[in-house]
Amino acid sequence: MACRKLDLFHLILFPMLAVIQLASKLALEALPNVELVSALTMVYTLVYRKYALIPILLFCFLEGLITGFGLWWIPYLYLWPILWGVTMLLPKNMPAWLQVPVYAAVCGLFGLAYGSLYAPFQCYAFLGGDWRRTLTWIQIGLPWDINHAIGNLALGTLILPLTQLLRRLETEIAKKH
């Protein structure tokens, strides 16, 4: 584990990681449902484990600051932690040859599920709204979710190299302290 306790370095690093997530989201906005946030969420989780929730939730807060804290924003507070939780459940000592396809598949499946996980809140089903409307929303959004899955699957291939890079940087910093 790269981060055993929160120190000054990580208190500075984690907001920077959140900004990287936000910048990546803004940079890819022109491509419909293509985002690097999911892959980065997995990278942060693989490297920082439970502490990864700090940059992930900071990203959510920054997104709200920039675009507004409307009702649409609330699912961010459970969507990204769901991906964090799924990533936490992955075996820590998975064979190297299996890591890229598994990480990419998880990332892609999250992209496919994103709209379905978002829809109940968007359609107010959790607040006593119409579940039929929610199912219709999911059905209509399926082509977008497939596009999201394809984008996440492709960008998910970057998870292992980015994880290795971040771990290497952590090791170098640890040597200096």
CB 58 within 8 A of CB 14: yes
H helix runs in the chain, sequence order: 8-27, 37-48, 53-67, 76-89, 96-122, 131-156, 159-176
What mean pLDDT is predicted for residues 22-36?
Answer: 96
What mean pLDDT is predicted for residues 158-175?
Answer: 93
In tens, the pLDDT along 83-108 reads 999 999 999 999 989 999 999 999 99
Q: What is the pLDDT of residue 165?
A: 97
| CATH assignment of the domain containing 139 | 1.10.1760
pTM of the model: 0.93
Report if residue 2 sits inside a domain: no
90 φ/ψ angles, rounded to the nearest 5 degrees? -70, 145
Label residue 7 by pLDDT band (50, 70, 90): confident
Q: Which of 90, 104, 112 lies closest to 160, judged by CA? A: 104
Domain range for 15 is 8-176
Report if residue 157 sits inside a domain: yes
Report if residue 1 sits inside a domain: no
Instruction: Give how many domains the chain has, as a whole number.
Output: 1
Q: Is the pLDDT of residue 1 over 70?
A: no
Torsion of CA 82, 85, 86, 90, to 10 degrees: 170
Surface-to-core class of residue 15, CB atoms within 10 Å of its CB (0-12 exposed, 13-18 middle, 19+ buried): middle
In tens, the pLDDT along 78-89 reads 999 999 999 999
In tens, the pLDDT along 118-156 reads 988 777 666 667 778 888 889 999 999 999 999 999 999
